Protein backbone atom coordinates (compact mmCIF):
# COMPACT_ATOMS: atom_id res chain seq x y z
CA UNK A 1 0.00 0.00 0.00
CA UNK A 2 0.99 3.62 -0.50
CA UNK A 3 1.06 5.78 2.64
CA UNK A 4 3.26 8.88 2.91
CA UNK A 5 2.66 10.04 6.46
CA UNK A 6 1.49 8.03 9.46
CA UNK A 7 0.74 9.60 12.82
CA UNK A 8 0.73 7.47 15.98
CA UNK A 9 -0.89 9.07 19.04
CA UNK A 10 0.32 7.24 22.14
CA UNK A 11 3.56 5.31 21.70
CA UNK A 12 3.27 2.42 24.17
CA UNK A 13 3.32 -1.31 23.49
CA UNK A 14 0.74 -1.11 20.68
CA UNK A 15 1.69 2.28 19.21
CA UNK A 16 5.37 1.37 19.31
CA UNK A 17 4.76 -2.01 17.68
CA UNK A 18 2.69 -0.34 14.94
CA UNK A 19 5.60 2.05 14.30
CA UNK A 20 8.14 -0.78 14.15
CA UNK A 21 5.96 -2.90 11.85
CA UNK A 22 4.99 0.01 9.57
CA UNK A 23 8.62 1.09 9.36
CA UNK A 24 9.60 -2.42 8.27
CA UNK A 25 6.73 -3.00 5.84
CA UNK A 26 5.99 0.44 4.35
CA UNK A 27 9.41 1.75 3.42
CA UNK A 28 8.33 5.10 1.98
CA UNK A 29 6.12 6.03 4.95
CA UNK A 30 7.20 8.78 7.37
CA UNK A 31 6.12 7.94 10.92
CA UNK A 32 5.36 10.68 13.45
CA UNK A 33 4.73 9.85 17.09
CA UNK A 34 3.18 11.79 19.93
CA UNK A 35 2.91 10.97 23.61
CA UNK A 36 2.56 13.04 26.75
CA UNK A 37 5.85 11.77 28.22
CA UNK A 38 9.01 12.95 26.52
CA UNK A 39 11.04 9.96 27.73
CA UNK A 40 8.63 7.56 26.00
CA UNK A 41 9.03 9.49 22.74
CA UNK A 42 12.82 9.43 23.11
CA UNK A 43 12.75 5.68 23.67
CA UNK A 44 10.46 5.24 20.61
CA UNK A 45 12.91 7.25 18.49
CA UNK A 46 15.82 5.24 19.86
CA UNK A 47 14.35 1.85 18.93
CA UNK A 48 13.21 3.15 15.55
CA UNK A 49 9.48 2.90 16.24
CA UNK A 50 8.99 6.50 14.97
CA UNK A 51 10.98 8.78 12.69
CA UNK A 52 9.90 12.02 14.37
CA UNK A 53 8.50 12.98 17.75
CA UNK A 54 5.87 15.74 17.63
CA UNK A 55 5.67 18.36 20.38
CA UNK A 56 1.90 18.53 20.43
CA UNK A 57 -1.16 16.84 18.94
CA UNK A 58 -1.66 19.45 16.21
CA UNK A 59 1.87 19.01 14.92
CA UNK A 60 1.51 15.24 15.21
CA UNK A 61 -1.49 14.93 12.88
CA UNK A 62 -0.86 17.82 10.46
CA UNK A 63 -0.39 16.45 6.93
CA UNK A 64 -0.91 12.85 8.10
CA UNK A 65 -2.70 10.48 5.70
CA UNK A 66 -3.51 8.10 8.52
CA UNK A 67 -3.77 8.88 12.24
CA UNK A 68 -3.95 5.99 14.72
CA UNK A 69 -5.16 6.64 18.26
CA UNK A 70 -3.25 4.36 20.64
CA UNK A 71 -4.06 6.00 23.97
CA UNK A 72 -6.22 4.37 26.64
CA UNK A 73 -9.89 4.12 25.62
CA UNK A 74 -11.20 6.88 27.89
CA UNK A 75 -8.77 9.42 26.37
CA UNK A 76 -10.10 8.99 22.83
CA UNK A 77 -12.76 11.68 23.13
CA UNK A 78 -10.42 14.44 24.30
CA UNK A 79 -7.80 13.38 21.75
CA UNK A 80 -10.34 13.56 18.91
CA UNK A 81 -11.34 17.05 20.11
CA UNK A 82 -7.71 18.15 20.18
CA UNK A 83 -6.80 16.87 16.70
CA UNK A 84 -10.08 17.75 14.89
CA UNK A 85 -8.91 21.21 13.81
CA UNK A 86 -5.56 20.02 12.44
CA UNK A 87 -6.52 17.11 10.17
CA UNK A 88 -5.90 17.63 6.48
CA UNK A 89 -8.76 17.07 3.99
CA UNK A 90 -9.11 13.35 3.28
CA UNK A 91 -7.20 12.31 6.41
CA UNK A 92 -8.26 8.94 7.80
CA UNK A 93 -8.37 8.39 11.55
CA UNK A 94 -8.53 5.00 13.26
CA UNK A 95 -7.76 3.62 16.74
CA UNK A 96 -6.70 0.44 18.52
CA UNK A 97 -9.26 0.48 21.33
CA UNK A 98 -10.76 -2.63 22.92
CA UNK A 99 -14.23 -1.03 22.91
CA UNK A 100 -15.77 0.48 19.81
CA UNK A 101 -19.19 2.11 20.38
CA UNK A 102 -17.90 5.14 22.27
CA UNK A 103 -15.03 6.02 19.94
CA UNK A 104 -17.14 5.58 16.78
CA UNK A 105 -19.83 7.82 18.27
CA UNK A 106 -17.30 10.44 19.44
CA UNK A 107 -15.53 10.52 16.06
CA UNK A 108 -18.83 11.03 14.22
CA UNK A 109 -19.63 13.91 16.57
CA UNK A 110 -16.21 15.60 16.80
CA UNK A 111 -14.30 15.18 13.54
CA UNK A 112 -14.78 17.61 10.63
CA UNK A 113 -16.58 16.42 7.47
CA UNK A 114 -13.33 16.35 5.48
CA UNK A 115 -11.82 13.69 7.77
CA UNK A 116 -12.95 10.08 7.90
CA UNK A 117 -13.00 7.68 10.86
CA UNK A 118 -12.95 3.87 10.89
CA UNK A 119 -12.85 1.96 14.19
CA UNK A 120 -10.17 -0.74 14.47
CA UNK A 121 -9.37 -3.29 17.13
CA UNK A 122 -6.16 -5.17 16.37
CA UNK A 123 -6.39 -8.26 18.59
CA UNK A 124 -2.77 -8.35 19.60
CA UNK A 125 -0.98 -7.29 22.72
CA UNK A 126 0.32 -8.71 25.93
CA UNK A 127 0.05 -8.10 29.64
CA UNK A 128 3.24 -6.07 29.25
CA UNK A 129 3.08 -2.32 29.03
CA UNK A 130 5.30 0.33 27.46
CA UNK A 131 7.23 0.98 24.28
CA UNK A 132 10.17 -1.10 25.60
CA UNK A 133 8.07 -4.22 24.93
CA UNK A 134 7.14 -3.15 21.36
CA UNK A 135 7.70 -5.85 18.74
CA UNK A 136 7.81 -5.68 14.94
CA UNK A 137 5.90 -8.98 14.67
CA UNK A 138 3.21 -8.26 17.28
CA UNK A 139 0.42 -8.13 14.68
CA UNK A 140 1.51 -10.95 12.41
CA UNK A 141 -1.27 -13.50 11.72
CA UNK A 142 -3.46 -11.87 14.37
CA UNK A 143 -6.99 -10.71 13.74
CA UNK A 144 -8.03 -7.08 13.35
CA UNK A 145 -11.70 -6.20 13.83
CA UNK A 146 -12.98 -3.19 11.86
CA UNK A 147 -16.26 -1.60 12.88
CA UNK A 148 -17.58 0.56 10.02
CA UNK A 149 -21.14 1.88 10.26
CA UNK A 150 -23.52 2.63 7.36
CA UNK A 151 -22.13 6.20 7.47
CA UNK A 152 -18.47 5.17 7.16
CA UNK A 153 -16.67 6.09 3.93
CA UNK A 154 -15.83 2.90 2.06
CA UNK A 155 -12.53 4.20 0.65
CA UNK A 156 -11.44 4.91 4.23
CA UNK A 157 -12.39 1.37 5.27
CA UNK A 158 -10.30 0.06 2.39
CA UNK A 159 -7.29 2.16 3.41
CA UNK A 160 -7.46 1.04 7.05
CA UNK A 161 -7.96 -2.58 6.01
CA UNK A 162 -4.95 -2.41 3.68
CA UNK A 163 -2.87 -0.87 6.43
CA UNK A 164 -3.51 -3.69 8.91
CA UNK A 165 -3.06 -6.28 6.16
CA UNK A 166 0.32 -4.72 5.35
CA UNK A 167 1.24 -5.40 9.00
CA UNK A 168 0.33 -9.08 8.51
CA UNK A 169 -3.14 -9.07 10.05
CA UNK A 170 -6.32 -10.89 9.10
CA UNK A 171 -9.47 -8.72 8.93
CA UNK A 172 -13.08 -9.15 10.08
CA UNK A 173 -15.85 -6.54 10.04
CA UNK A 174 -18.77 -6.08 12.40
CA UNK A 175 -20.86 -3.30 13.90
CA UNK A 176 -19.52 -1.39 16.94
CA UNK A 177 -22.29 -2.83 19.14
CA UNK A 178 -21.72 -6.40 17.96
CA UNK A 179 -17.99 -5.92 18.62
CA UNK A 180 -18.54 -4.72 22.17
CA UNK A 181 -21.00 -7.55 22.94
CA UNK A 182 -18.65 -10.26 21.64
CA UNK A 183 -15.55 -8.80 23.28
CA UNK A 184 -17.34 -8.60 26.62
CA UNK A 185 -17.67 -12.40 26.42
CA UNK A 186 -14.32 -13.43 24.97
CA UNK A 187 -12.05 -10.79 26.50
CA UNK A 188 -13.43 -8.36 29.09
CA UNK A 189 -15.32 -10.79 31.33
CA UNK A 190 -12.49 -13.40 31.23
CA UNK A 191 -10.17 -10.65 32.50
CA UNK A 192 -12.48 -9.87 35.43
CA UNK A 193 -12.84 -13.58 36.20
CA UNK A 194 -9.07 -14.03 36.24
CA UNK A 195 -8.79 -11.13 38.71
CA UNK A 196 -11.57 -12.62 40.87
CA UNK A 197 -9.80 -16.02 40.89
CA UNK A 198 -6.60 -14.33 42.08
CA UNK A 199 -8.47 -12.34 44.75
CA UNK A 200 -10.34 -15.34 46.21
CA UNK A 201 -7.70 -17.50 47.93
CA UNK A 202 -5.58 -16.45 50.90
CA UNK A 203 -1.96 -15.73 49.91
CA UNK A 204 -0.93 -18.94 51.70
CA UNK A 205 -3.31 -21.03 49.59
CA UNK A 206 -2.34 -19.25 46.41
CA UNK A 207 1.24 -20.47 46.89
CA UNK A 208 -0.04 -23.99 46.31
CA UNK A 209 -1.38 -23.27 42.83
CA UNK A 210 -0.07 -25.10 39.79
CA UNK A 211 0.90 -23.89 36.34
CA UNK A 212 -2.69 -24.30 35.14
CA UNK A 213 -3.78 -21.58 37.57
CA UNK A 214 -0.93 -19.31 36.51
CA UNK A 215 -1.94 -19.65 32.85
CA UNK A 216 -5.62 -19.18 33.67
CA UNK A 217 -4.86 -15.91 35.45
CA UNK A 218 -2.10 -14.50 33.25
CA UNK A 219 -4.46 -11.85 31.83
CA UNK A 220 -5.07 -10.56 35.37
CA UNK A 221 -1.51 -9.14 35.29
CA UNK A 222 -2.59 -6.61 32.65
CA UNK A 223 -2.55 -2.87 33.31
CA UNK A 224 -5.29 -1.94 35.80
CA UNK A 225 -5.82 1.54 34.40
CA UNK A 226 -6.37 0.37 30.83
CA UNK A 227 -8.75 -2.37 31.93
CA UNK A 228 -10.67 -0.05 34.27
CA UNK A 229 -11.38 2.15 31.23
CA UNK A 230 -12.51 -0.82 29.15
CA UNK A 231 -14.85 -2.08 31.89
CA UNK A 232 -16.42 1.34 32.45
CA UNK A 233 -16.82 1.95 28.71
CA UNK A 234 -18.44 -1.44 28.13
CA UNK A 235 -20.25 -1.89 31.46
CA UNK A 236 -23.63 -2.88 29.98
CA UNK A 237 -22.26 -5.71 27.83
CA UNK A 238 -19.91 -6.85 30.61
CA UNK A 239 -22.90 -7.12 32.98
CA UNK A 240 -24.81 -9.15 30.38
CA UNK A 241 -21.82 -11.49 29.97
CA UNK A 242 -21.58 -11.81 33.76
CA UNK A 243 -25.23 -12.90 33.89
CA UNK A 244 -24.49 -15.57 31.27
CA UNK A 245 -21.47 -16.79 33.24
CA UNK A 246 -23.55 -17.03 36.43
CA UNK A 247 -26.05 -19.17 34.56
CA UNK A 248 -23.32 -21.42 33.18
CA UNK A 249 -21.80 -21.86 36.66
CA UNK A 250 -25.24 -22.63 38.11
CA UNK A 251 -25.65 -25.36 35.48
CA UNK A 252 -22.26 -26.74 36.51
CA UNK A 253 -23.13 -26.66 40.22
CA UNK A 254 -26.36 -28.59 39.59
CA UNK A 255 -24.22 -31.40 38.10
CA UNK A 256 -22.10 -31.90 41.24
CA UNK A 257 -23.92 -35.04 42.29
CA UNK A 258 -23.21 -38.72 41.43
CA UNK A 259 -26.63 -39.00 39.73
CA UNK A 260 -25.54 -36.41 37.14
CA UNK A 261 -22.09 -37.95 36.61
CA UNK A 262 -22.57 -38.57 32.87
CA UNK A 263 -24.00 -35.09 32.20
CA UNK A 264 -21.11 -33.54 34.14
CA UNK A 265 -18.62 -35.47 32.06
CA UNK A 266 -20.37 -34.41 28.84
CA UNK A 267 -20.30 -30.75 30.00
CA UNK A 268 -16.54 -30.97 30.65
CA UNK A 269 -15.79 -32.95 27.47
CA UNK A 270 -17.76 -30.60 25.23
CA UNK A 271 -15.87 -27.58 26.62
CA UNK A 272 -12.58 -29.40 25.90
CA UNK A 273 -13.69 -30.23 22.34
CA UNK A 274 -14.95 -26.68 21.69
CA UNK A 275 -11.62 -25.24 22.84
CA UNK A 276 -9.50 -27.75 20.90
CA UNK A 277 -11.49 -26.97 17.73
CA UNK A 278 -10.72 -23.31 18.27
CA UNK A 279 -7.00 -23.92 18.85
CA UNK A 280 -6.74 -26.09 15.74
CA UNK A 281 -8.48 -23.44 13.62
CA UNK A 282 -6.07 -20.86 15.01
CA UNK A 283 -3.06 -23.02 14.14
CA UNK A 284 -4.36 -23.44 10.59
CA UNK A 285 -4.73 -19.66 10.25
CA UNK A 286 -1.13 -19.16 11.31
CA UNK A 287 0.25 -21.56 8.70
Taking CB under 8 A as the binding criterion, the range among 25-33, 39-47, 159-167, 264-272 that sits at the site for its own copies is 264-272
Give 201's contacts (C-beta < 8 A, 6+ positions apart): 209
Taking CB under 8 A as the binding criterion, the range among 57-65, 80-88, 131-139, 185-193 that sits at the site for its own copies is 185-193
Binding of its own copies at residue 248 (CB under 8 A)?
yes
195-199-201-202 Cα dihedral, nearest 10 degrees? 140
Binding of its own copies at residue 284 (CB under 8 A)?
no
Binding of its own copies at residue 213 (CB under 8 A)?
yes
> Closest distance between its own copies and the C-beta of residue 248, in Å?
4
Taking CB under 8 A as the binding criterion, the range among 5-13, 20-28, 82-90, 241-249 that sits at the site for its own copies is 241-249
Give 270's contacts (C-beta < 8 A, 6+ positions apart): none
What is the greatest pairwise CA distance in the chain? 70
CA distance 174 to 227: 22
> Closest distance between its own copies and the C-beta of residue 142, in Å?
8
* Strand stretches in 124-267, DSSP E: 143-146, 170-173
Binding of its own copies at residue 218 (CB under 8 A)?
yes
- Footprint (CB under 8 A) of its own copies, residues 135-164: 142-143, 145
Tell me which of 3, 60, 70, 189 binds its own copies, using CB under 8 A.
189
Nearest to 72 by CA among 134, 9, 28: 9
| Shorter beta-carbon distance to its own copies: residue 26 or 96 | 96
CA distance 92 to 65: 6
Q: Is there a contact between 220 and 195 (Cβ–Cβ < 8 Å)? A: yes
Tell me which of 195, 280, 284, 286 binds its own copies, using CB under 8 A.
195
Binding of its own copies at residue 13 (CB under 8 A)?
no
Tell me which of 24, 140, 282, 286 binds its own copies, using CB under 8 A.
282
What is the number of alpha carbons within 13 Å of residue 23 lying toward its C-beta? 22
CA distance 270 to 202: 32
Tell me which of 1, 24, 269, 286 binds its own copies, using CB under 8 A.
269
| Shorter beta-carbon distance to its own copies: residue 39 or 262 | 262
Binding of its own copies at residue 166 (CB under 8 A)?
no
> Closest distance between its own copies and the C-beta of residue 177, in Å?
13
Report the phi/psi class of residue 268: left, alpha or beta, with left for phi > 0 and alpha for psi in -120 to 50.
alpha
114-60-146-184 Cα dihedral, nearest 10 degrees? -120
- Footprint (CB under 8 A) of its own copies, residues 108-137: 123-125, 127
| Shorter beta-carbon distance to its own copies: residue 62 or 170 | 170
CA distance 106 to 126: 27
| Shorter beta-carbon distance to its own copies: residue 116 or 188 | 188
Amino acid sequence: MNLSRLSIIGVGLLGGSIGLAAGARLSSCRIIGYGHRRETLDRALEIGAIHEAANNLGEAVKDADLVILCTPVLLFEETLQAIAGFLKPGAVVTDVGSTKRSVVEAAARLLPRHARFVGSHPMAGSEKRGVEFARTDLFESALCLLTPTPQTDSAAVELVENFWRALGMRIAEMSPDEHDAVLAEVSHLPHAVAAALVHMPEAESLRLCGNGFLDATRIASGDGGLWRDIFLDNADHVKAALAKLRQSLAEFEALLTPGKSEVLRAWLDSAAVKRETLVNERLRNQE
